[in-house]
Amino acid sequence: MRIMKNKYDVIIIGAGPGGLACAEELKNSALSVLLLEKNNTIGPKVCAGGLTRLDAGFNLPKGKSREFKTQHIFVNGKEHNLQLAYPLKTISRTKLGQFQLKKLQGAKNIDIQTNTAVLEIKADRIITQDGIIDFNYLVGADGSNSLVRKYLKLPSSQNMGLYYDLDLLSNKFEWHINTKAWGSAYLWVFPHLDHTNIGFHFNPKLISAASAKKILDQFLRDNNYVFRKENFRSAPLNYNYQGFSFGSVFLVGDAAGLVSKATGEGITMALISGKEIAHKLLNPQYSVTELHNVIKIMQRHTKMIDRFDRHPRLQSTFFWLFLKMMKSQRFQEYFGN
């Protein structure tokens, strides 16, 4: 970690996958870059660590993730096995963060400062607990409760995720859907290399956080899972995309609202948007095709869930149809899975 200067070409707020991917693409460029992270350690984040095929362009750490070709989808208690053309993966956020951080080693143009929270944003400067720093460009990669997004006065819409990490080692990648009781919410079982992450993703306007926790606890009890309250976590996910470019200010990942309203997936969108915004900073003419593709997929997910929530009586038919369509590789690509 180096001492901060008082002016940078680019300041990136947040060293999650989005901010780190942005910094990586700016490595050894002519731009001076400051990457700021409020936490002491880079990596840990409330997240289930599931990845779809959208991560294909990223060289993720080998031997640190698990892969699953089959998804087990339980719709109203009935199990459906869905084979995937591209395997789903699970990865530890700490390992992903540390892997991304390592790639920045030796970058002469990048200063990384942890334990530094940005407290306020002005037109051409930020204020941290350590002082004021000027920028030409600001990248908001500061997650679902983004300060940069608030500075831009953009609204947010948030789903919630809550989960337990269990010591148990499991081999089945599961989704549980209960259209009658939960509507568009779902429960997941994501096996990792050294634990299993079991959680619930829901819209807090439709299910209260207290009810969601009851649903999750009940599921764990019904399935005889041993869980401990100290391993419980919860956090919001912002799916309200309103754009990524605002003059000299850019948004990536959750700060940009690039989380799926359907699946809660956001790691890959953060990686892609971070990388694409870096290219845009290096070349303003750069057309962010990959980012536009992922935005389209996110918008499809939002549309699908909004329709689904509007027609509660058709929800089980909808899922039946959805599972049939997901058998086709073309639809898997269209849906982003």
Ligand X SMILES: Cc1cc2nc3c(=O)[nH]c(=O)nc-3n(C[C@H](O)[C@H](O)[C@H](O)COP(=O)(O)OP(=O)(O)OC[C@H]3O[C@@H](n4cnc5c(N)ncnc54)[C@H](O)[C@@H]3O)c2cc1C
Task: Compute and round to an integer the Cα radius of gyration of the chain.
Answer: 20
Amino acid at 82: L
Chain residues 185-204 in contact with ligand X, contact rule CB under 6 A: 199
In contact, 261 and 254? CB cutoff 8 Å: no
The answer to whether residue 264 forms part of the interface with ligand X (CB under 6 A) is yes
14 binds ligand X (CB under 6 A): yes
140 binds ligand X (CB under 6 A): no
Site membership for ligand X, residue 19 (CB under 6 A): yes
Give the interface segment with ligand X, choosing from 30-38, 165-173, 212-220, 298-306 (CB under 6 A). 30-38
Q: Which amino acid appears at position 232 of this protein?
A: F
Q: What is the rounded distance in angstroms from the CA atom of residue 61 to the CA atom of residue 99?
A: 7
Kindly provide the residue ranges of all beta strands, DSSP E only, lying in the chain, ordered along the sequence: 7-13, 33-36, 50-51, 65-75, 78-91, 110-113, 118-121, 125-128, 131-140, 158-166, 174-177, 186-191, 196-202, 232-238, 245-246, 249-251
Q: What gap in Å lies between CA 318 and CA 193, rounded to an integer?
A: 34
* Minimum CB–partner distance for residue 178 and ligand X (Å): 19
Establish if 241 lies at the interface with ligand X (CB under 6 A). no
- The reply on whether position 265 binds ligand X by CB under 6 A is yes
Residue 33 is a binding residue for ligand X (CB under 6 A): no
Tokens read off for 42: 């880079």
The residue (of 125 and 320) whose beta carbon lies closer to ligand X is 125
- Report the distance separating Cα 298 and Cα 240, nearest Å: 10
Q: Which is nearer to ligand X, 39 or 316 (CB)?
A: 39
Among 12, 15, 88, 198, which residue sits at the site for ligand X (rule: CB under 6 A)? 15
- For ligand X, the binding residue among 10, 12, 18, 278 (CB under 6 A) is 18
Q: How far is the CB of 197 from ligand X (least distance, A)?
A: 8
Residue 117 binds ligand X, judged by CB under 6 A: yes
Per rule CB under 6 A, count of chain residues that contact ligand X: 39
Can you tell me which of 104, 270, 278, 288 binds ligand X, judged by CB under 6 A? 270
237 is an interface residue for ligand X by CB under 6 A: yes
Q: By CB under 6 A, is residue 118 in contact with ligand X?
A: yes
Does 294 bind ligand X (CB under 6 A)? Our answer is: no
How many Å apart are CA 237 and CA 258, to the nearest integer? Answer: 9
- Tokens at residue 282, please? 């290096």
Angle at 304 between CA 212 and CA 140, to 5 degrees: 75
Nearer CB in complex with ligand X: 50/183: 50
4 binds ligand X (CB under 6 A): no
Q: Which of 138, 141, 212, 326 binds ligand X (CB under 6 A)?
A: 141
Of the residues 259, 278, 281, 294, which one makes contact with ligand X according to CB under 6 A: 259
Beta bridge partners of 160: 202, 236
Binding span for ligand X by CB under 6 A among 37-45, 80-88, 296-304, 328-336: 37-45
Which two tokens mark 117?
């929270």
Query: Which of these ranges, 67-75, 80-88, 261-269, 302-310, lies near ligand X under the rule CB under 6 A?
Result: 261-269
Listed residue (143, 150, 100) closest to 255, CA to CA: 143
CA 22/CA 222 separation, integer angstroms: 43
Q: Which residue blocks in 183-328 are alpha helix, DSSP H?
A: 209-222, 267-282, 289-310, 315-325
The reply on whether position 257 binds ligand X by CB under 6 A is: no
2 and 129 Cβ atoms separated by less than 8 Å? no
Q: Provide, rounded to whole angstroms, the least separation between the CB of residue 148 and ligand X.
A: 8
Using CB under 6 A as the binding rule, whether residue 45 contacts ligand X is answered as yes
Residues within the interface to ligand X (CB under 6 A): 13-19, 36-39, 45-51, 117-118, 141-143, 147, 161, 163, 199, 235, 237, 253-255, 259, 264-268, 270
